[in-house]
Amino acid sequence: MIISKQQTRLCLRLSIAVAILGILFKIMHWPYPGVLLLTGTLGIAIFYSLRFSQKHPKTLLDYSKLFLLIAFLFHYKFKVFHLAYGYIFTTIMQVAFVLLISAHIREVWFLDTDADTDEIDSPSVKSKPRQRALSYLLYSLAGIGIFMGYFFKILRWEFGFINGNVLLTIGLLAAAITVLLGASSKEPQ
C-alpha cells in the first residue's frame, strides 16, 4: 500500500498533536503522558521519514533536517524519561543542530543565480540574487534563532557560549533587520 503525500502530512500533523498533548499531560501531571509522548514521537519519526523518502531530489539540507529530527527525538526521550546516558544524545543533538545551520547557510547563501524564481515576482529581487540570498538568510536566521532560543531556554541547554539568551537575541535582531530591510525596499524611489 502506497501512502500519498497528503496522507503522510496528515499523519505527521496528528503525531505532532499527540506529542504536544503528551507534553501537556506531563506538565500537568495527568495520567498516561508517557504513552502519548511515545506514540507521538514515534509517529513523528515514522511519518517524517516517509515524507523524507517521498521527496525528490534530496539535498544536504534535507538530510541534515532528518538527522536533527531523529537526534532531537532520542534526546527528548532520554531527557523526559530521565534515562541514563542522556548526555550522549544531547551532544549528538547539538552536533545535528550545527550541521543543520551549516547546511542551511550553504544552501541559502550559494543559491544558483540563474535559477528560475517563480515564487518571487518582484523584478528588483530577480535582478539582485545576492540581495535575495541575504534576505533568505536573515529570514532563516530569525526563525532558527527564535525557535531554537526557546528550546535552549526551556531545556536549559548551553553549547559553549551559545545559550537560549544568545540565540533569542540573534533571532530577534535578525527579525528586526529583516523587517527594516523589507520596509525600506517597499518605499517609493
Phi, psi of 128 (to 5 degrees): -125, 80
Q: Smallest Cα–Cα separation from 40: which of 13, 63, 59, 61?
A: 13
Report residue 188 as a C-alpha cell.
517609493
Q: Domain for residue 37, yes or no?
A: no
Whether the per-residue pLDDT at 50 is higher than 80: the answer is yes
Report residue 89 as a C-alpha cell.
544524545
Higher pLDDT, 132 or 66: 66
Q: Domain for residue 71, yes or no?
A: no
Q: Domain for residue 33, yes or no?
A: no
Whether the per-residue pLDDT at 31 is higher than 90: the answer is yes
Q: Domain for residue 22, yes or no?
A: no
Q: Domain for residue 6, yes or no?
A: no
Q: Smallest Cα–Cα separation from 47: which of 25, 31, 70, 68?
A: 70
d(CA 133, CA 131): 5
Mean pLDDT of 54-71: 88
Whether the per-residue pLDDT at 144 is higher than 60: the answer is yes
CA angle (155, 98, 55) in 5-degree steps: 100
Q: Domain for residue 173, yes or no?
A: yes
Instruction: Report the number of distinct structural domains present in the chain.
Output: 1
Range of the domain at 182: 111-189
pLDDT confidence of residue 128: 66
Q: Domain for residue 7, yes or no?
A: no
Q: Domain for residue 147, yes or no?
A: yes
Residue 172: exposed, middle, or buried by beta-carbon count in 10 A (0-12, 13-18, 19+)? middle
d(CA 152, CA 135): 25
